[in-house]
Structure 1
Amino acid sequence: MDNSGKEAEAMALLAEAERKVKNSQSFFSGLFGGSSKIEEACEIYARAANMFKMAKNWSAAGNAFCQAAQLHLQLQSKHDAATCFVDAGNAFKKADPQEAINCLMRAIEIYTDMGRLRIQLRGPGGVWLSWDGALRTPFVLRAPSHISPRAGSPSRPSTTSPLLRSTRRSWWTSRSSANKCLLKVAGYAAQLEQYQKAIDIYEQVGTNAMDSPLLKYSAKDYFFKAALCHFCIDMLNAKLAVQKYEELFPAFSDSRECKLMKKLLDAHEEQNVDSYTEAVKEYDAISRLDQWLTTMLLRIKKTIQGDEEDLR
């Protein structure tokens, strides 16, 4: 089946999904299985989106995934809605990067909302303690401001509680999903030369990661990308940013990424294209450059010389 045939099939699926939605809104469908028709429509929209992807009609695929996401929200299926918005973002990135960012931001909002789990716990002295999963650090216990603590200091309840364990798992799952979406947004924003937006995200995720024993190794990558975005704006910005990241996260100083940044800054200051290219080649020999890094490094190199040359 050629692309035109795939698009025709996808359009037929869209029409079928729209009929399902319309039928679900009738009085009798509302009484007898209206939600099941919405569920069917969600599945059909997703099938249409995948058919559009096969036809390489990325905008149509993104729109179909968005339709499915909206219906999942109507059904209160937040996780499925967020997944569809991520799929929509991945489709739009091939045709409309700004719309890709919008879809991923919607997914982030949903994942964050899913993580706002609140538990009220009775503490010593009759103090009500609460844990808000929306906070950066899990298991932060605090007394609501409108309640005055009685005698004694509140103590932290055992985190071995099954309820707390379940909540903590949910928080980390939501936070991890949100971070993945945020990093995609940052990548697209940088490609669109929305550098400050990308910097804010990379710094936020990097700061969160450096406080986690499991994630702190990746913090250097996020600070490296933030520094490259600074470099695309201004060389002095990048130099100050590197100093800030070294103070904030001492392990960054010993990373290959930090050493590369310093070589690039020196080469740029000297307007030495050969030194810049050689530093990139040395890094690439050990850690292969992906398309995003190649794009950013080429943009910086072009501020040294006007001609666009291969970095490797």
Structure 2
Amino acid sequence: MGLDVAKGEEFERKAEKKIKGWGLFGSKYDDAADLYQKAANSFKLTKSWDRAATAYIKLAGCNLKSDSKHEAASAYVDSASCYKKISPKQAISSLDQAVNLLLEINRFNMAAKYCKEIGELYEQERNMDQAITYFERAADLYQTEEVNTSSSQCRQKVAEFSAQLGKYQTAAEIYEEVAGYALNNNLLKYGARGHLLNAGICQLCKGDVVAINNALEKYQDLDPTFSRTRECKLLAALAVAFDEEDAAKFSVAVKEFDSITKLDAWKTTLLLRVKENIKAKELEEDDLT
């Protein structure tokens, strides 16, 4: 164990000596880069993640001195892989550096991939605002490269977190867009009903009966087969229960659907918010009578 750490330290010392010493500007940084790569590998063997990550960052610095932005971005990605084991925050910082470099050299597809990865790290950290920012960036970059399915997946993440944060209109609009995209793609067509259900749940969360009914009409125009689906029937039943301020009727409709198609945690959470809203209205009515 200790042997590899000592080896790593020796490689680092040699690299620093190279940088401080004389020699042709480009070649001394290339030599130092090789040594930092070896140092990082030695530290990784002993699971010294922090030291390996630091060696990769120094390697990135050497690559930048040699104007090798692509190699520098790769070194930052390697440092992020090490930091992920110990500090998501530092992993995010390294990936951010990689993204900036990849954008400079127009590698949009790779930049999108790492923006998505940063979004996932923020999601793990429960920082939904930042997760939204990075998933949005990833979606836009994927769209630039016409990687539409990946773009759509990232937009769904934005919608999911927006709804959790109470931004229901934003979430509903994204799900409607994603459904529209799915309907124009034979492979994804079947999934459209799920996106429209999510959009409808977001409309319900807004608590506006007129908006809910308008949305249902719009969805049936968008997808003529939607009116025959269980998803559409569920939304229609929920809209009636909401309009009648009947929490019991609302619960029955949810349970019936859930007994055949299990509702995920996201839908359950949002539907509970709608039910609480109905209950609060029922209480208001009771206070007035």
Aligned counterpart, 1:297: 271
Under a length normalisation based on structure 1, what TM-score does the superposition of the two structures give? 0.68
CA distance in 2, matches of 1:216, 1:36: 38
CA distance in 2, matches of 1:39, 1:243: 49
**1:259/1:15 CA distance change after superposition, 3 Å:** same
Offset at residue 9 of structure 1 (A)? 4.6
Aligned counterpart, 1:24: 63
Equivalent residue pairs, number: 234
**1:22/1:209 CA distance change after superposition, 3 Å:** same
Aligned counterpart, 1:264: 238
CA distance in 1, matches of 2:162, 2:226: 24
Q: Letter of the aligned partner of 2:184 in structure 1?
A: D
Q: How does 1:6-17 map to 2 (within 5 A)?
A: 9-17=48-56
CA distance in 2, matches of 1:75, 1:211: 33
Offset at residue 185 of structure 1 (A)? 0.9
Offset at residue 46 of structure 1 (A)? 3.0
**1:37/1:83 CA distance change after superposition, 3 Å:** closer
Offset at residue 66 of structure 1 (A)? 2.5
CA RMSD, 1 decimal: 2.4
Offset at residue 40 of structure 1 (A)? 4.5
Offset at residue 279 of structure 1 (A)? 1.1
Q: Letter of the aligned partner of 2:213 in structure 1?
A: K
Conserved? CA contact 1:46–1:68, under 8 Å: no
- Structure 2 portions without partners, runs of 5+: 1-43, 282-289
Offset at residue 289 of structure 1 (A)? 1.1
**1:107/1:195 CA distance change after superposition, 3 Å:** same
Q: Letter of the aligned partner of 1:41 in structure 2?
A: A
CA distance in 2, matches of 1:111, 1:215: 18
Aligned counterpart, 1:42: 76
Conserved? CA contact 1:268–1:304, under 8 Å: yes
- Structure 1 portions without partners, runs of 5+: 1-5, 116-173, 308-312
Deviation per CA, 1:214-267, whole angstroms, max 9, x where unpaired?
222111111111111111112321121111111221111011111111111121
1:287 aligns with 2:261: yes
Conserved? CA contact 1:89–1:100, under 8 Å: yes
Query: Identical aligned pairs, as a percentage?
Result: 31
Offset at residue 48 of structure 1 (A)? 2.8
Aligned counterpart, 1:107: 138
Deviation per CA, 1:159-190, whole angstroms, max 9, x where unpaired?
xxxxxxxxxxxxxxx01111111111111111
CA distance in 2, matches of 1:68, 1:51: 18
Q: How does 1:147-162 map to 2 (within 5 A)?
A: none
